[in-house]
Structure 1
Amino acid sequence: MKNRIVKVVALKAPISRVWRAISDYKEFGQWFRVDLDGPFEPGALSTGKMTFPGYEHYPWRATIERMEPERLMSFSWHDFDERSGLDVAEQATMLVEFRLEPTAEGTRLTITESGFEVLPDPRRLEVLRDNTEGWNIQAEQLIAYVE
C-alpha cells in the first residue's frame, strides 16, 4: 500500500525566490493559506490556524525538522481528525519535505509527504486521498505566488 505522496513541481522562478516562499513563515502563510504564529526554525514548534476556505477551524501544528537554505525544508505536522476527539497535539504526525533543485527554467521542487502508515484504515486512505488533492492545490498556489 502506498504510504507517501510525491509531487514534483516545475517553477519558472529562481531557487532563491522559491526558498523564500517556503522558508519564510509569512510568505508560506500567504500561498499555503495558514496564519502562523512565528518564524520557522529547526527544532521549533510552529503553530497557527488554517485560513484555506472550508478549513478555517483546522489548527496548524508542526515541528520544523530541517532547513538547509535553497536545498531542503522539512516539517512534521499533525493529522487533524475532528472525529477522534483528541487534541491536535495528540494526533499522529506525517513528514513533509520540500526539496529544491535548480533547472535551466528555474526550480524543480519535490514535495514528499510520508508516514501515513501510522494512521489506521480507513483513515489512512482518506488522508492519502485528501492530502494528494491538497498538494495539487497547494502546488498551483505556490506556482501563482512565485511566478
Structure 2
Amino acid sequence: MDVHDRIERKVLLKAPHERVWQALTDAEQFGSWFGIDLKGKQFVAGQAIAAQITFPGYEHVKWNARIERLEPQKLFSFSWHPYAIEEGIDYDSETPTLVEFALEDHTEGTLLRVVESGFLAVPQARREKAFKMNSRGWDEQMNNIEVHLRKSP
C-alpha cells in the first residue's frame, strides 16, 4: 500500500454552521458521535485530554489527544497517535499526527473538511496499518457526524 502523509475527507452537512461547530467542539457532543466517553469534559486549546473509547471493539482503548487549536467557527484541531490500540505499548515516544476540522459556509449547509497529517513520522512498523485504519475510520466518522446532526436539533 502506498502510504501518503495525509488523509483528507469532506462532507456537506445540511446543518447551520454554528450547529456543526457545536457538534465538533462541545466535548460531550463530539464524544457521542465519535465514540468516546467525554461526559463532563471540555476541549481547551493547549491541553491534553483522555477518555475511554466507546466504539464497539475498542472499549479497551483510551483516547489520548492534545487540543491544538480552537478558532471559533473556523478550525478545530487536535494531535493524537493514530491507531494506538495495542495494550502495553507506550505510544508517547512517537510523533503524533494532527487532525484538523475546517468549516466553510455552503449554500446547502456547511462543508466540513477533515485532514489528518503526519503519517510519514509514524514508525514504519505500524505506519501502513495506522494509515489504512484511520482512512477507513474517517469515512465512518464523516457519516457519524452527519447522522448525529440529523438526530439532534
Query: Scaled by the length of structure 2, what TM-score is found?
Result: 0.89
Bigger fraction of residues in strand? 1
Q: 2: CA distance between counterparts of 1:77 and 1:24? A: 18
Q: 2: CA distance between counterparts of 1:49 and 1:131? A: 18
The answer on whether the counterparts of 1:4 and 1:112 sit within 8 Å (CA) in structure 2 is yes
How far has the Cα of 1:34 moved from its partner? 0.2
Q: Does 1:20 pair with 2:22?
A: yes
The answer on whether the counterparts of 2:77 and 2:98 sit within 8 Å (CA) in structure 1 is yes
Of 94, 99, 104, the match for 1:96: 99
How far has the Cα of 1:91 moved from its partner? 4.0
Q: 2: CA distance between counterparts of 1:90 and 1:32? A: 25
Of 52, 57, 65, the match for 2:55: 52
Gaps of 5+ in 2: none
How far has the Cα of 1:123 moved from its partner? 1.4
Q: CA RMSD in A?
A: 1.5
- Partner SS, residue 124 of structure 2: coil
Of 82, 88, 104, the match for 2:86: 82
- Partner SS, residue 136 of structure 2: helix
Q: 2: CA distance between counterparts of 1:29 and 1:105? A: 26
Regions of 4+ moved over 6 Å: none
Of 123, 127, 144, the match for 2:126: 123
Gaps of 5+ in 1: none
What percentage of aligned pairs have identical amino acids? 44
How far has the Cα of 1:90 moved from its partner? 3.8
- Partner SS, residue 111 of structure 1: strand
Q: 2: CA distance between counterparts of 1:14 and 1:138? A: 19
**Alignment: residue pair count:** 146
Query: Scaled by the length of structure 1, what TM-score is found?
Result: 0.93
